[in-house]
Chain A
């Protein structure tokens, strides 16, 4: 029989105040199967671990049971400790007598008796534990990054700079994302494009990055280190190998369409690049608006293209790749003004969202950076900004704070004042949240130097009156109703995860939270991992955040990917549920209950086969198996039966 040693921890008074530890040691001393038993004040401390190691050597122990706190805390600690003296870590077991005993009981006698039974049960398990070796899985050292905004760009560049290959997939025809639409950025007021476009060029020129724009993820299978992704390359109707980006086709195209990049303020053509600094700077044909696709006539672009690059019969194609890691950086959309009945439901032309105002401020925007209102092109002299529109409104819209609005609205008011020195900006706010380096100072500057008027209160209603937008609000600091006849109103609309996030999450088998954002593995300690191994998150797809935070998170994501790729093999926990081929009848009951697709029926052999890497040891198959062929390693039926018996025996 194996020689099992038991080490009972006092955990200071956490355990010892409710469980009589010396009594436990005394009573279990002669329990069959326990070769050695000892208690110590803090088993996890250095002396505690040394005591454990010494005892293993001197008492020639084959297995140990540490009766202490939850295995989620220190199982790993103790397994590493026993390994240093040559014991297989799977012979080290934890009996949880803190969370499951001392912390939840008051009666010392009862708690002591329960602690003994818990320890006895784990000793029974340890007696039958096998020595196991982790399962080695090779890693494909190539990552796919979904989304080509600043988050995706930063993640892709950092992974590529670690000398790993990256595929960057972007659904628009150019990378750049939302950041490319912005004018200047808080709190330093440096031009967004000036700091972004060099990075875009870096992406395009990086030898380790394969850029796939106008493309999206179609399918994914596999697991960490070994994903298979299928990417749909949407038909561009322009052969980019032939196209030089000369722009003649764009110039001559007769069909004008509202530009998405300019938030509908300007026009683009049916054959277009979203903006002048696009990367790649090659056009696609928007077949929903192209005259030829709609009427069968035109083909002007085709006739004029000097390189015969136009191809109206192009179809979607699919690219299949094997990758080891996936980064999701799909960004955000702005909650539509349409949803705000009290603010005109989007029907008042001079009520715009913040992103639209960015285009009005941008020197590459439709007004060349002059603040001109959409209705009649006049320069607004009174401008009202309203914050928290849709955000922090759990009753009607969303409960969360969109995080960036306080700062960008302050920036908007400031930039407006720089462009229109005799104009007056007003900001209606609920709170000003200026946490961040240089943010509070920026907010103070807007008040002191730029004379932005901050009004603490909400706006109940907006309406058009002649050529003004009347803003009915309240200033809660003075307690008075405020009515401003504004020329332009800018709404800081809530941030939403970008369209299609639900389908993507389903495809990737990662979860989304109650507000639709992707869920990180731990809100504090694992902020860039999803709950699925090998899938990482960056940017606003995970939660609203500003550019500095997005870049930091994307960099962290790249570090996690590099971390994964640095290993020769991935180690998978060997506690999995196998198949005893003697007993298996191939009935397939376990296949049906497996949530991880780890089990498959082999009809020829009449057996079930297991993909050990996919198995997460949930035990569903072992419970479903009618013949006992599915046995979970170190949790066999025999072990579980003995444990139950040990618990029930007085």
Chain B
């Protein structure tokens, strides 16, 4: 692909992370991508191969930009309450939507999602034993899902869980 691209791939992928986090994969048409990402249809196909190709690039980008920094911050969290605050505050919408909506049907998406969850679990190794670390991140991601549905009052739930586990 020697030809110069007529758009900034980085900007397009970051916009795709935002767009794919808003609704179901099948609910986003190529027309939506062309309109919201500001990229021509032909360039989109030429660069990413398909909608699915762009989705995977966006999901991996989300893991690099948002999940990895969160895992690093968790690794140096002082206690579970701080860890809970970090997880409830991080931008994880695409990971959550992917886990619920695409991962069950798409092995490549499932792989990225599983790796992201694993990174978060391992980051808590200093604070909790393995199985409890997974349960803790799973519960907090559940808190995030609830917050997406019913509003952002998740502080209490996450704090209560961290407090109880930290006793």
A in complex with B: no
B contact residues vs A (CB 8 Å cutoff): none
